[in-house]
Amino acid sequence: MTDAKREHWDEVYRTKATDSVSWYQPIPEPSLKALDALQLPATASLIDVGGGASSLVDRLVERGWSDLTVLDIAAPALDVAKARLDDDAMRVTWMVADVAKWRPWRCYDVWHDRAVFHFLTEPEQRLAYRHALEAGTAAGSVVIIATFAPDGPERCSGLPVQRYDAAALAAEFSPAFTLERDWREEHTTPGGGRQSFQWCVLHRR
């Protein structure tokens, strides 16, 4: 199953231009705004789980963030981001792993996940994700997470997704995490389509 998942995502990143996929954002504005609101120092550690080829890491390197990790199941996705960052790629820790099988060896101040958790459609996958999340965070850590909203698409990249409103998403991480802020976003795809996202900011107790 994991190999099938990895092969799916490897193929996506090998065959599609980064700026043609439905989740592409020229600027990761919701994530940057959420981070701005938290007023964290650039020394804070951040992991972008399922970060793919997102330019969030580029923007954070530009802002002087010094402890950045990008994890993704697809090595070709990380290769795109590394090539784009050029010499600055050395400033980032890159990890190829299935988050639902991964055991972090350290904690992060910020756990960021845009459009990854919603692919975990089985309860045991979500439990494994929570185990990774709890191992990779400590009291005071923040989670910034976005999934498709209840009126968002039923599939992404050809795969089924689980859609959430704020209460349901927060409930997935309760009681270890409490909901601090939530909002909806209408994402415009490169093809001009609209996708409803649910964003949550949670704090670890």
Ligand X SMILES: C[S@@+](CC[C@H](N)C(=O)[O-])C[C@H]1O[C@@H](n2cnc3c(N)ncnc32)[C@H](O)[C@@H]1O
Residue numbers of the site for ligand X (CB under 6 A)? Answer: 5, 9, 23, 50-52, 54, 72-74, 77, 98-100, 114-116, 119, 156
Least separation in angstroms between CB 44 and ligand X:
19
Least separation in angstroms between CB 40 and ligand X:
19
C-beta of 116 vs 144, nearer to ligand X: 116
Q: Considering only CA atoms, which of 129, 127, 96 is closest in space to residue 9?
A: 96
C-beta of 122 vs 151, nearer to ligand X: 122
Cβ neighbours for 163, distance < 8 A, ≥ 6 positions apart: 118, 147, 148, 149, 150, 151, 152, 154, 198
Q: Which two tokens stand for residue 198?
A: 């649910």
Q: Which two tokens stand for residue 116?
A: 């990854």
Least separation in angstroms between CB 124 and ligand X:
13
Q: Point out the residue whose Cβ comes nearest to ligand X.
A: 52
C-beta of 122 vs 140, nearer to ligand X: 122
C-beta of 33 vs 205, nearer to ligand X: 33
Q: Give the span between the Cα atoms of 93 and 116, in whole angstroms.
A: 19
Least separation in angstroms between CB 139 and ligand X:
25
> CA angle 41-44-45, nearest 5°?
160
C-beta of 168 vs 190, nearer to ligand X: 190
> CA angle 12-122-204, nearest 5°?
95
Least separation in angstroms between CB 73 and ligand X:
4
C-beta of 52 vs 136, nearer to ligand X: 52
> Are 161 and 125 contacting, i.e. CB atoms less than 8 angstroms apart?
no
Q: Considering only CA atoms, which of 129, 198, 116, 200 is closest in space to residue 157?
A: 116
Least separation in angstroms between CB 60 and ligand X:
14
Strands (E), the chain: 45-49, 67-72, 92-96, 110-114, 142-148, 155-156, 159-160, 177-188, 194-204
